[in-house]
Structure 1
């Protein structure tokens, strides 16, 4: 493992704490009854936490020389990630169906958070697996997937604990993850490391943010409506 990434598990652990913080009042404190939540929400939360735990443990297994166990956890992700993507899709469907009766336009606009997240995670994870034998590239794409966990949690932190308006909270969270990805890219450029992973990470983050910014526009409304018609 590259020296700069020897303690990458600490970064992943910090994301875990942000997720717990963000979902504390909106979900975790509802334990054990979880009134108002269904099995889809529970499965989504469980899979999200499982993915973060997998990200934390993988570099630790490499550092400790337990490569066979590292590969076994990696293979387990072949089952975890499709289920995680399905859970994101299903949570989005629940939210969409709640909103459609109130405002079809806003329901379609809300998909600007779901569709880009699905595509971004699938792309970054897929590229990580495609490059699983190229550890430097593989690791960078995996880190890219972790950035996608920050947005929803950090948005809730801002709204619940700091009274930031919803739209501003989403923007600020997006700006932060784009900035982190961009800084990682700049660092790799100066250190002459592979630039493709963080270039693609920045690209998918920016495209996701643009979809959110133009969620009420004709193009996104057409795309979102077509998506909802086919899948929801």
Structure 2
């Protein structure tokens, strides 16, 4: 009997420790912010204040991306401080920030596509294999987070999923600029990392008997995005990308 009580106590203690770890999730978001700054330092930030060669679309995208990461950092801190009304206000602000962020991702992709199309239509269409999955993944994870906003543990997990999407573009640039990794390999390595993080989070929740849907869906949308990238030159994606570009670009 005592052994059963001891096992139950240790199990509950382990669960409590894991959940309390999420109180410090802002540190994870700060680390993502640092990676983003590192990745975009030489390709964008260093050009401050003139930003010669960049248009308003790039500025809007950079600003909105930074706003989203800062919102992710602030939200758990507001909860810890007991500022729930302010937490909800910031959450409602995301109803404006996220659609604009998605629009900026779309516009940046459109600019890149139109630059590439004269030289290589196939490669231009292949480039949509980064934009379309990113739009889909972010919209799905954010939408599910808002849908489950009254279930804080599930809500928080979907929000963490959106943060993983910020790692890829920044980490890809870090590899290319500072470690001379070829572009294609850099994209692959960044994808492998964020999929590995999502997988480990999923395994942790399975082990702790937590709801598996948030990190399972996060992992699945990332796998779909990676597969789209791997088969970007294939007939299927070329057809998808060409039709997407014909309609929207």
The corresponding residue for 1:48 is 65
Superposition deviation, residue 6 in structure 1: 1.0
1:186 to 185, 198, 203: 203
Normalised by the length of structure 1, the TM-score is 0.99
The corresponding residue for 1:169 is 186
Deviations 1:187-211 (Å, cap 9, x if unpaired)? 0000001100000000000000000
Residues 1:208 and 2:225 are matched in the alignment: yes
Unaligned runs of 5+ in 1: none
Larger Rg: 2
1:115 to 123, 129, 132: 132
Partner Cα separation in structure 1 for residue 133 and residue 149 of structure 2: 24
2:29 to 12, 17, 24: 12
1:197 to 197, 207, 214: 214
Partner Cα separation in structure 1 for residue 213 and residue 53 of structure 2: 43
Residues 1:64 and 2:93 are matched in the alignment: no
Q: Which runs of 4+ in 1 moved over 3 A?
A: none
Residues 1:140 and 2:140 are matched in the alignment: no
Normalised by the length of structure 2, the TM-score is 0.93
Three-state SS of the structure 2 residue aligned to 1:133 is: coil
Partner Cα separation in structure 1 for residue 80 and residue 176 of structure 2: 38
Unaligned runs of 5+ in 2: 1-15
1:129 to 128, 137, 146: 146
Superposition deviation, residue 56 in structure 1: 0.1
Three-state SS of the structure 2 residue aligned to 1:219 is: helix
Partner Cα separation in structure 1 for residue 162 and residue 211 of structure 2: 17
Partner Cα separation in structure 2 for residue 167 and residue 89 of structure 1: 21
1:25 to 35, 42, 53: 42
Partner Cα separation in structure 1 for residue 128 and residue 142 of structure 2: 21
Three-state SS of the structure 2 residue aligned to 1:6 is: helix
Superposition deviation, residue 4 in structure 1: 2.1
Three-state SS of the structure 2 residue aligned to 1:7 is: helix
